[in-house]
């Protein structure tokens, strides 16, 4: 039986692996279909502390993995088909494709959340080349340039306002005539002179040339007329999906599927099961905050396994 199993290899999972490996907990880390998480889909990361000139996303994740391996962390590739948490206490059993059944005394869930995509031509292949899912991560790169924000909720309005700090023009595209955002967020965006609007328009294609985004083709939902918005960058702000389906509702989540944790800890509603990173964070979604919660989860799991945290924190969730 394993002392601790970590699901996911983004900044949260890898930070937890580093801490647990250094504590001689022999963590097993299960990698999914995208080792390294969302940062492997980005180019330069300039806001992760310690890198004066920035660092490439894949390089940062590779370095974190090697650091964990240096201290004895074990990595295995596999898809977690199911997790049995029905007893509410260890041992917990995981069914992993290609690896069979794995038993563990504690479990750290750091499976992340993925940005919702439009699934239109030119979108996926231009991620990191002008298409982004994080304004706070990439806005700086569009200083003095034109950008498009797709979405009509609070997140879209917030990202559009944020981007006006850098971009010369921010164009909001939304498929409906009315916005889902709160009135106060709508008003802030509408009062911003840098923001223009295309409502009741559907994005149908991302245009690019020489590996750089050049425009967004949209269609008027009433007339069917198509037009091209010239832009240097496209920011998707249509929501995120936490990767929790495999848990089969055995762990308490909020209304949108993010795992609920006890305030000030990473303890979930199931004793000995911890969550860190974007899978439990619908607000910040930054690499550095994910890494911080990975550290917390490692310390929580270590104390639990060593018998220093026997209180059932789940009762307070």
Tell me which residues are annotated as active site: 134, 137-138
Rounded CA separation 82/100 (Å) = 11
Q: 277-316 burial, b if ≥16 CB within 10 A, otherwise e? A: bbbbbbeebbbebbbbbbbbbbbbbbebbeeebeeebbee
Rounded CA separation 138/93 (Å) = 39
Rounded CA separation 122/248 (Å) = 34
Residue partners of 295: CB distance under 8 A and separation at least 6: 15, 16, 19
Question: Quick one: CA torsion of 14, 16, 20, 25, rounded to 10 degrees?
Answer: -90
Rounded CA separation 92/251 (Å) = 13
Nearest CA to 258 among 237, 247, 243? 243
């Amino acid at each position: 039986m394993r002392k601790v199993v970590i699901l996911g290899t983004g900044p949260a999972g890898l930070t937890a692996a580093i801490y647990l490996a250094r504590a001689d907990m022999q963590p097993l880390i299960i990698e999914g279909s995208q080792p390294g998480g969302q940062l492997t889909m980005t180019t330069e990361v300039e806001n992760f502390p310690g890198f004066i000139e920035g660092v490439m996303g894949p390089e940062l994740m590779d370095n974190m993995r090697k650091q964990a391996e240096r201290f004895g962390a074990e990595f295995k590739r596999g898809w977690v088909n199911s997790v049995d948490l029905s007893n509410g206490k260890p041992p917990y059993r995981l069914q992993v494709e290609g690896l069979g059944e794995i038993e563990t005394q504690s479990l750290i869930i750091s499976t992340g959340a993925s940005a919702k995509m439009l699934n239109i031509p030119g979108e996926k292949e231009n991620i990191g080349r002008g298409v982004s899912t994080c304004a706070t991560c990439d806005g700086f790169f569009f200083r003095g340039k034109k950008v498009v924000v797709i979405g009509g909720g609070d997140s879209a309005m917030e990202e559009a306002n944020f981007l006006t700090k850098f971009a010369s023009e921010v164009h909001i595209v939304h498929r409906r005539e009315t916005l889902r955002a709160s009135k106060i967020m709508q008003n802030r965006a509408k009062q911003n002179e840098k923001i223009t609007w295309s409502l009741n328009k559907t994005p149908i294609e991302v245009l690019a040339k020489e590996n750089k985004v050049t425009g967004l083709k949209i269609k008027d939902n009433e007339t069917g007329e198509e037009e091209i918005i010239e832009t240097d960058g496209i920011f998707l702000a249509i929501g995120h999906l936490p990767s929790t389906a495999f848990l089969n509702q055995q762990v308490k989540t909020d209304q949108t599927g993010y795992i609920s944790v006890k305030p000030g800890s990473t303890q979930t509603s199931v004793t000995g099961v911890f969550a860190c990173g974007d899978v439990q964070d619908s607000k910040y979604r930054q690499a550095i905050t994910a890494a911080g919660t990975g550290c917390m989860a490692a310390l929580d799991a270590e104390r639990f396994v060593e018998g220093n945290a026997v209180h059932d924190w789940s009762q307070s969730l």
